[in-house]
Chain A
């Protein structure tokens, strides 16, 4: 009993240590984060301007509503990108710095190690996503008279559980392929969003993609956030989005962990962690 409690305590300290390290690193590279944020804002603007562009070329749309719809899609895209990037970097960055072996030989379970990256990624991703939303919304002078931001935020946080689970599956890639693994994370991000109705309703997709949309957590996240911000729906009406997110979350975390553990065994068998020295 005591040993279990002590072991759990060590694990939680380890998890906090991963968060702590990411805080140190973010502090050191803060100017790069600012530069990267500028890029994200520019990128988001290019998408959100599409609404005004359609009207200017004779299309008949509710510009404010279309602008908000696109903005939500772009913010979720950016958020997911940050989560996947951080988790993938759990391995990729440490390999680049050369510390990977020291981390993998520490008595910290992989669940807590990745969990620490996940917690930091969610916190950091939320800050970035909210800032992005505010900056671009202010740029277009969007009003959001009846938006329910709390409900939108809760949906995003719940969805993050699944994003974290899927992120672990992409984090294994640099373990298996030191050279190109990290870039493959982008493939997962793109595939997830294309089926989830990032800038359009899911109904416009071909049937097989719609089927994929039902198992993608991003679909429910986008639906819930749009309902909260565009219609002002309260959290109490979000259950149809929340329960699938919880189910997908409960399935994806153990699956993600199992995949990562298999990747780790593969890496240790074939000497992929590090070779020189």
Chain B
């Protein structure tokens, strides 16, 4: 009990001191996860929109698969990306294994299905409501898809955020493809895992608090944005 108190106190001091090593870890985490979110959003939203308004054979099976992929285990994604990028793998030439780039790739793959599946749901719901009106006004499927992406933008924000939360919190994928190299590929989650196993609880706790706070703040901001938008645009 006492040691827990102590750990919290030390963690708070550590965070307050702005220790440069700690700051580096936090910034790298943000850089990796935000990059992954950008990539997954750029690819995932069009995929979601296409499946949402599209009509093609195998569409329903695709939706089931996409929804299932939302639960991809990070370690499996890490392993697959590791195999791709390892020296003997098909993309070994790139030589990016154990770099932040590899971590971005792994996290992008991990959260792409989350963003695409949630976007698909939002856009399909809107399509049900808008379909006749948009067709009547002369919109084809492609232009309808763009219209819906715009009109559901606040729901899509939630989808993107879910992706970010997942990326920032996962440890398995970045551990395998990043290697948790101090000063190079060490991010918050891998540092927490390491420090915990070494018994350095204050550092692990401090990082944990920062991680949770970041996710909380981002979600609060998104929630408020969405609420304000709902009041404003109906």
Do A and B truly interact?
Answer: no
